[in-house]
Structures are given as C-alpha cells and as structure tokens.
Structure 1
Amino acid sequence: MTDLERKVYRIIYNMSRFRKNPTMDDLKRKTGKSEEKIRAAVKSLLMKGELKWDKLSKKWII
C-alpha cells in the first residue's frame, strides 16, 4: 500500500466510522492531492479488496 493509499484508507475509515462518508472535497483538503490521484488511490484500494462500496446502504465496507 502506498502512502497516499494508506492516507486515503485511514481518512475513509475514520470518517465513515465516526461521522459520515467523506466527499471528494474532504479527501482533497485532507490529503492535499488532486482528484485524479485520489481516484487512482481509491480504485487501487478497491482492486486490492481493502475497500468495498455497498450500493444499497451507500457506505464503505472496510
């Protein structure tokens, strides 16, 4: 897992557990990275099976 993937994973984990699902603006603000890099990191995490998206409840499964 790269540093950006780890950072995005922790942000999604913490926000979804204690508050809400993070928006792209939340992720951009907290990581300081562009939308393209964040999307690539999330896609990589999904492909590795680290994250899953539940379409019915619209929440991340970690």
Structure 2
Amino acid sequence: MIPKGENLAKAPRDKLVQAGFSFKYNTHIYTNKKGNQYHYCYDYGYLELEGNWFLIVKGKES
C-alpha cells in the first residue's frame, strides 16, 4: 500500500480489505496531540479518515 521510499499513503477501505487487511487486529493504539487515534499493527498504523478512507503510516508513532 505504501509506495517504496514513502512513509504514508491514503487508501479506501475496500482496497485494504481486498488486499487482505483485517481491522480486527492491532498491537497498540497511539493518540496524537490532536486526539487522533492511530491503530498500529507492529510498525504500520492507520488513521480512519472521512468517507471510508484511511491514512496508512509506516514507522514509529511520535
């Protein structure tokens, strides 16, 4: 989902599900200073956006 050399990408829910992603599992949840909750599975996380879109992030939460 995330292009090589990048640390984030946007994707619609159906594309993630088609790729085999399961929203049932996560290792931890990170809440940033703005109150946004990122759900992580090891080094990859996602933030739910409007309209069934998700921001996918790679790397450490900070």
TM-score normalised per structure 2: 0.29
Name the structure with the higher strand share: 2
TM-score normalised per structure 1: 0.29
Name the structure with the higher helix share: 1
